A and B are shown apart, each in its own frame.
Chain A
Amino acid sequence: MAKEQAGHRPALLDEALGPGGPIIVFDNVWLAFDDKVILRNVSFTLQTGHTKIFLGASGAGKSTILRLILGLLKPDEGRIFVNGEETDRMPEDDLMAVRADLGMVFQEGALFDSLTVRENVGYKLFEELRWPTEQANARVEEVLGFIGLSDYIDRMPSELSGGQRRRVAIARAMAAKPRILLYDEPTTGLDPITALTVDEEIVKLRDVEGVSSIVVTHQLRDAFFIAEHTVARSGRDVTFDRAAGHKAYEAEFIMLRDGRIAFEGTADELRAFALQDEYVHSFLS
């Protein structure tokens, strides 16, 4: 089904979505709930291994974009491509295959209350991919080690703090090694130190694991940290440095205002734009 749809794409789009092309494409997407227009003519692309950070006021349509990428919502108009597959009209059964390469960290974590941390993190491996138990457990222990929560493996979500729940949600999203991770307000409501830990996990996943990511947030401190830092690994140690050279262009900001893209560019370009635009200036200050 998805392949058939891809066959009807214009040649230029086919070429753009080929090897080395963007991993996510939004093409003139519109969405309204009843009379309220949420997204107006939104277009952007996400290159493999890059990060897009969506900023904007509450209700600007940031989280809606993530739900559209996952296929949890369908656009009224426009087209959405994920991993080269057009997903905007794809039936739910076909979307399951597209979602195999996507991980999502929901606001507040959305961990399953009745499952332990191990079962939450390994949910996809145990229930959907049916990995052998030993292999799945090894992967769960590996990702929990990656986010520094190995000691919490047999706890229930209710026994974790807000920051720990958010990190377990990141572990769950990355367990099946997706190539794209979507973060919905990953640091909202967390104290600055815990938020920084979550930011570092996002940067590590991008720079160490090569995961493409979209981060929705209105926490500017976290947004700029993710955009302007890179991680270097030597053995088991990782160090965070300021992104320079081509790395500084791998994370871009998109600012949404009333459902439209008001700005798209790097951190430095955003700062420069804020000097000219009153709304962006007031948002950043």
Chain B
Amino acid sequence: MIGKFFRGLVTRPFYYRDVIEQFEAIGVGSLTVVILTGMFTGMVLALQSGFTLDQFGARSMVGRLVSASIVKELGPVLTGLMVAGRVGSGIAAELGSMMVTDQIAALRALGTDPIRKLVVPRILAGIVMVPILTVIASAIGIVGGWLVTSTLLRVASSVYWNAVVQGLYMQDVWMGLIKPFVLGFTIVSIGCHVGLRTEGGTQGVGRSTTNAVVVSSVAVIAVDYLVTQLLIVLMY
């Protein structure tokens, strides 16, 4: 399927309208859940780290901890997990239903390659939209951290934002941007693969949906570790 995906990227026909629809479904559709996840993660991270850093008289360093953790790790991983839950399951259920109701066979009978029509637009949308969602989640998370730090921990805003900037290195930003490309590709590929292998009626669709969420969630964590290790070797 992956080979056919790359061939579908560079050869005709290309279904532009489906690509735009998937950008909307995967990107805009996941915005709310990603914003809420980023916000509360930033807030709880500031709260927890604030009390821990207090023991060392380093409450002013909360911003450093929040920014480094969110940009490098929590932003990409939590966005990946949220997208795996929402998008991975949705794709597996949609394609699985199409399989068991013969809609995929009907597509082929009508002269359409299901990989080009269904898989290419979804994977493209995953590759493009997951990084954008991750940037939004990370930014909102840092803002959430600022809200808690300035109101509950009573740290001045300027101190927090200074610490945020000091805590980030260019390599961290690159790491936070590269990981979601790989995660987006992984999550959507798994959803498509599992969906297109569905058999066994509605029970099969249920099984595929569960499998897609489980496999892609575990894959997010595993791929995150592997990419992190690779990037550390290459960039640090």
Residues on A facing B (Cβ under 8 Å): 67, 70, 72, 92, 96, 99-100, 102-104, 106-108, 110-113, 123-124, 127-128, 172
Contact = CB atoms under 8 A, between A and B. Distances in A.
A108 B102 CA distance: 9
A127 B102 contact: no
A92 B113 CA distance: 9
9 contacts: A72-B108, A72-B109, A99-B108, A99-B110, A106-B106, A106-B109, A123-B110, A127-B15, A127-B110
A104 B111 CA distance: 11
Give the interface size bracket for B toward A: 10 to 19
A106 B108 CA distance: 12
B105 interface: yes
A102 B97 CA distance: 24
B106 A110 contact: yes
Contacts of A72: 105, 108-109
B101 interface: yes
A61 B106 CA distance: 19
Contacts, number: 50
Contacts of A128: 13, 110-112
Contacts of A67: 105
B109 A102 contact: yes
Contacts of B113: 92, 96
Contacts of B109: 70, 72, 99, 102-104, 106
List of 5 A-B pairs having minimum Cβ-Cβ separation, nearest first: A110-B102, A110-B106, A104-B109, A106-B102, A128-B111
A130 to B, nearest CB: 9
Contacts of B110: 99, 123-124, 127-128, 172
B96 to A, nearest CB: 13
B202 interface: no
Nearest to B105: A72
B102 A124 contact: no
Nearest to B102: A110
B148 to A, nearest CB: 42
A112 B106 contact: yes
Interface string B95-137: 0010001110110111111000100000000000000000000
Among A100, A108, A110, the one with the most B-chain Cβ atoms within 10 Å of its Cβ is A110
A110 B108 CA distance: 12
A106 B111 contact: no
Nearest to B106: A110
Contacts of B112: 127-128
